[in-house]
Amino acid sequence: MQSLLVLRPVAPILIGAALMLTLIMGLRQSIGLFVPPAVRDLSITVADFTLAIAVQNLAWGVLQPFAGAWAARIGFRPVLMIGGLSFVLGLAALATATGIGGVVVGAGLLIGLALACSGSGMANAVASRPVPAALRSTVLGLVSAVGSLGAMISAPIGQSLSLAFGWRAGVFGFVLISLAILPLAWLAGRVDALPPPAAGGAAGRAGSAREAARIALRYRPFLIMSLAYCVCGLQLVFLTTHLPSYIAFCGLDPMLGAQALAMIGAFNIAGSLFFGWAGGRWSKGALLGGLYIARSLVLAWYFGSTPTAGGTLVFAALMGFLWLGVSPLVSGLVAEMFGLRWQAMIQGLAFTSHQLGSAVGAFGGGWLFDAFGNYQLAWQIGVGMGLTMGTIQLVSGLGQRPPPAVPAPAG
């Protein structure tokens, strides 16, 4: 195995990217702590606040390809800095909101822009650049694992400030923490000083973002990966949105929902490290397919049986292990397919599909529950789609061929 010591010269870039991701994802995942007090204080509904979160997710998905294209043109550092500044401003707008407008602009649009410019897709693209191909998957797993730690730090701080001084104080505490994103983004942006990556892949030799996107969208394995990624988003956001309600609906302790989500977060770390390591040894596409199949079987086992407290925590641990491991596999697979030059932009195209699935998982699960009075059809659809797309992804990953080459320029 190639020693990780070869990463020492680029360690500041990797550390900056990982810690930036830790703060951004941890603070973003902890915003839900302020929903109940903010709703009471601002005289808005929970649906109003969740509208802002929906706007955030859609903005993140839609803007991610553009952020990746900008990074390829003008460099990562300015895009990462824009993301960090947008995150600070978004939290400040939320902390000073007087109604639904401020919540949507702050927690929705501005934080959505920040996630597109400096969230997981961009952090993984930065971490992919300076490392040897043999170590890339392992490094991406490490970065994703570190990114899972943020909620464990920010959530207790936000909760303590909110209980002691009110929810606005908790959000202002997040504003102060988020200021650290800016120097970390600057540090990660040192990747721009490295020699440009080799063309590597058909899209890597494309002369424009449009040409690279056209190549990606005509490449069948990428389309399959993106469709499977859509189902991934559907399953995961259905779970994070509706698992606490399902637990309460089944008559279990409502606190079990929070414990289950915390268990998912803890096992994210192990899953990220394992699948990052495994992606360096076996087909990333086949591993993705196997992960989706395993996740769907775990969902079928849990929702198809009578839930218990112990079973719920075991389910959460299994789901956590199968959760964020997708990130290093998708990032590494895009780099293998198309090279590094347009990686962030092409990965953003796939992530747009993921976010569309997320919106369907959140809204569709609630709509089916309202229509039928239970979650049975919702989880059955999610499991069926997961098994179908997981199998297609597995077969595609085992037989993947490289995308067509771009003709060399004349002369």
Q: pLDDT digit of tens for each residue in the chain (411 aa)? A: 445 566 777 888 888 988 998 899 888 877 777 777 887 888 887 667 767 877 888 888 889 888 888 888 888 999 999 999 999 999 999 999 988 899 899 988 999 999 999 888 888 888 888 787 777 777 878 887 777 777 667 777 777 887 888 889 988 999 999 999 999 999 998 988 887 665 455 555 555 667 877 888 888 888 999 999 999 988 887 777 677 667 777 887 766 766 776 777 778 888 888 888 888 888 888 999 999 999 999 999 988 888 888 888 898 889 888 887 888 888 888 888 877 777 778 888 888 888 888 777 777 777 787 778 777 888 899 899 999 999 999 988 886 665 554 444 443
Q: How far apart are CA 251 and CA 142, in angstroms?
A: 38
What span, in angstroms and rounded, lies between the C-alpha atoms of 55 and 288?
Answer: 28
Q: Which amino acid is at 51?
A: L
Q: How far apart are CA 106 and CA 99, in angstroms?
A: 11
Contact 395, 385 (CB under 8 A): no
Query: What's phi and psi for 293, nearest 5 deg?
Result: -65, -45
pLDDT attached to residue 294: 94
Size of the chain, expressed as the number of residues it contains: 411
CA dist., res. 15 & res. 20, Å (int): 8
Predicted TM-score (pTM) above 0.95? no
Block residue for tokens 């990686």? 343
Give, in degrees to the nearest 5, the angle at Cα 322 between 53 and 236: 25
Instruction: Work out the angle at residue 13's Cα, subtended by the Cα atoms of residues 9 and 18, and round it to the nearest 5 degrees.
Output: 130
Report d(CA 227, CA 391) in Å as an integer: 12
Closest of 118, 136, 116 to residue 127, by C-alpha: 136
* DSSP secondary structure letter of residue 405: P
DSSP-H helix ranges across 280-342: 284-303, 309-321, 326-338
Candidate CATH numbers 3.40.50.10860, 1.20.1250.20, 1.10.220.150, 3.30.450.40; the one for domain 203-399: 1.20.1250.20
Model pLDDT, residue 385: 92
Amino acid identity of 112? G
d(CA 17, CA 122): 9
Fold of 1-195: Growth Hormone; Chain: A; (1.20.1250)
User: DSSP 3-state assignment of 385?
Assistant: helix
Rounded Cα gap, residues 337 and 216, in angstroms: 9
DSSP-derived 3-state class of residue 186: helix
Q: What distance in Å separates the CA atoms of residue 153 and residue 155, rounded to the nearest whole number?
A: 6
Domain with CATH 1.20.1250.20 in the chain: 1-195, 203-399
